[in-house]
Chain A
């Protein structure tokens, strides 16, 4: 089974803050990491390869530094790595991203399965997986939490729903997005680390993927960010005063309508 895993480098969301006064992002100490959901996608791909043979190719669209997460994925068991990188890709929304990833995947050769994370923690959109499947005209299932079998060219799986789960069968080639429950990602092996160090990463730019320049990056995007701001609150902040007994008494009076 030849598998492509789409992985993204993201800032560690818990450290990202916007200063409400200056509206600037606090930059200090924000680390770049592999999108946490994508680690699980890499792990699942490696497990499938171990069971059914084939290769795992990790692919990322991003700046040159995204090489770091590609090497990390190789150290955890992926075989090949492709970096889709060009200044022309900057500012892409999910529409332009799926176009670019789709074009790149057409260049990287035949595949049976594409795995994505459920969502990337920077934008939290969860749109790239389904959009990419449409670009490639293959079926997809999102929020996969368990793969239960592989028979007659189809994968059997459980997809997470809001009220439970669905048991689903998807023929290959197809695309899956995965949630964290699907597995526990392994730590890099020594052999993996050695391989990651020496592996040469294939770089694809806009020309190499034969992209239409008008469909890339910001100009190729259907949506635009018009404003970013820190979340604001409307609390009245009435701090109760007095001894604990007095405060509790006041509170119970205030809450009378609800009791």
Chain B
């Protein structure tokens, strides 16, 4: 609980200003805390007279932190393929493992895995623990959770990462709860603090309006799910050596109360925007469905895929699989062209890591220009047709 020493408090109001949550008010010359307080502690640091303190009695360190070493990732395998985020996890995992001078391992679960474990090695894994069993044909939280939990208990990695996919976000909380450790969802940045080896996990909150850095100081492993398309995979190296271990789960760990009867692949959109090298996106500035034709023409001219803001999707000018952003897809193409998109934070978080960003918007103050490499202030109905024409000329 936040303690305010009313003798010491001078009612200066610095803490009131500092509080992100509106939880402190100076009333009659002293600071008063209300129930909005989340005990984040920023006011404590801001108080110059030291009137504030948080009463969170020093926690007994729950585990011997030094016993836990190594970086482990969960490699997702579905419908006969390793899901791309697994390679991205190996990319960031490799970085963290090299920094800590520890091994990078992967846990691979499925039925009929073929050469998937070799692929993981070629993308940076030192060790792959694989279970190839018919009980793993379909994803079930319980069985996947049981096995990952058991491997973690035996191997004691300091960090466990999984993709922030439908599967990762569903069963990793079960594993973290079983292991009585912390879990941070949907991270977009990970770094290890050199002084104490603590994993700093950064993620968007409040629909992307705010970023928060979170740590798990007292328990191990430190667990995160990581947003797809944010981390970079390393170059595949088919000569890399690694160890592949067939892990044997106890038979009772392969039982699930929940039964999957059928797994249905839905017609994927023809162009998967997360894989394109060039994306041309349109927003509300296109006015109507017809306007979107222009975006498609530009996309054709540059050989790119079509993306959209949520405003365009909500207006039903284009289908949801094209939506880029917080509640759509995260993309990082080489070239992203945003036409008639204002650059709301929820859109920007989904495309800001693109190599080159072009913005075309008639409002010179639109915030999309803040993330743009090149900006054109103008009417897209004038600019885009000319752009198409010029590009066609160039390409012959």
Q: How distant is the Cα of A122 from the Cα of B214 in the complex, in angstroms?
A: 15
Quote the shortest CB–CB distance from B253 to chain A (angstroms). Answer: 15
Known: A218-B39, A227-B213. A163 touches B265 (CB 8 A): yes
A251 at the interface (CB under 8 A from B): yes
Within 8 A of A (CB), among B177-233: 177-178, 180-186, 200, 204-219
A126 at the interface (CB under 8 A from B): yes
A255 touches B174 (CB 8 A): no
Chain B, residue nearest A15 (CB)? B209
B91 at the interface (CB under 8 A from A): no
- Which of B116-124, B255-263, B283-291 faces chain A? B255-263
B371 at the interface (CB under 8 A from A): yes
A22 at the interface (CB under 8 A from B): yes
A109 at the interface (CB under 8 A from B): no
B211 touches A236 (CB 8 A): no
Chain A, residue nearest B193 (CB)? A226
A233 touches B370 (CB 8 A): yes
Interface string of A13-28 (1 = CB under 8 A from B): 1101110001111010
Quote the shortest CB–CB distance from A163 to chain B (angstroms). Answer: 6
A185 at the interface (CB under 8 A from B): no
Interface size for B (C-beta < 8 A) is: 103
A191 at the interface (CB under 8 A from B): no
Q: How distant is the Cα of A23 from the Cα of B334 in the complex, in angstroms?
A: 32
Quote the shortest CB–CB distance from B3 to chain A (angstroms). Answer: 12
A160 at the interface (CB under 8 A from B): yes
Known: A94-B183, A222-B219. A231 touches B345 (CB 8 A): yes
Interface string of A112-154 (1 = CB under 8 A from B): 0000000001111111011101110001111100000000000
Q: How distant is the Cα of A24 from the Cα of B13 in the complex, in angstroms?
A: 13
Q: How distant is the Cα of A230 from the Cα of B205 in the complex, in angstroms?
A: 10
- B residues in contact with A95, CB < 8 Å: 176-177, 180, 182-183
Choose among B59, B210, B265 the residue with the greatest number of A CB atoms under 10 Å from its CB. B210
B39 touches A226 (CB 8 A): no
B205 touches A126 (CB 8 A): no
B155 at the interface (CB under 8 A from A): no
Quote the shortest CB–CB distance from A237 to chain B (angstroms). Answer: 6
A228 touches B374 (CB 8 A): no
Q: How distant is the Cα of A255 from the Cα of B391 in the complex, in angstroms?
A: 10
Contact residue among A13, A16, A235 (Cβ-Cβ distance under 8 Å from B372): A235
Q: How distant is the Cα of A99 from the Cα of B301 in the complex, in angstroms?
A: 56
A226 touches B20 (CB 8 A): no
A226 touches B213 (CB 8 A): yes
A190 at the interface (CB under 8 A from B): no
A11 at the interface (CB under 8 A from B): yes
Known: A24-B18, A164-B263, A248-B386. A258 touches B278 (CB 8 A): yes
- A residues in contact with B277, CB < 8 Å: 258
Chain A, residue nearest B352 (CB)? A233
Known: A24-B18, A161-B263. A237 touches B40 (CB 8 A): no
B18 touches A225 (CB 8 A): no
- A residues in contact with B170, CB < 8 Å: 130, 142-143
A224 touches B166 (CB 8 A): no
Quote the shortest CB–CB distance from B201 to chain A (angstroms). Answer: 8
Quote the shortest CB–CB distance from A65 to chain B (angstroms). Answer: 8
| 22 A/B residue pairs, CB under 8 Å, sorted by A | A11-B206, A123-B205, A126-B185, A127-B173, A127-B185, A134-B177, A134-B178, A142-B141, A163-B79, A167-B262, A168-B260, A170-B257, A217-B39, A222-B181, A228-B210, A231-B348, A231-B349, A238-B375, A244-B383, A247-B376, A248-B386, A258-B335
Q: Which residues of B contact A (CB under 8 A)?
A: 1, 17-22, 35-40, 42, 54, 56-57, 59, 78-79, 83, 138-139, 141-142, 165-167, 169-171, 173-174, 176-178, 180-186, 200, 204-219, 256-266, 268, 277-278, 302, 334-335, 345, 348-349, 352, 356-358, 364, 369-378, 382-383, 386-387, 390-391, 394-395
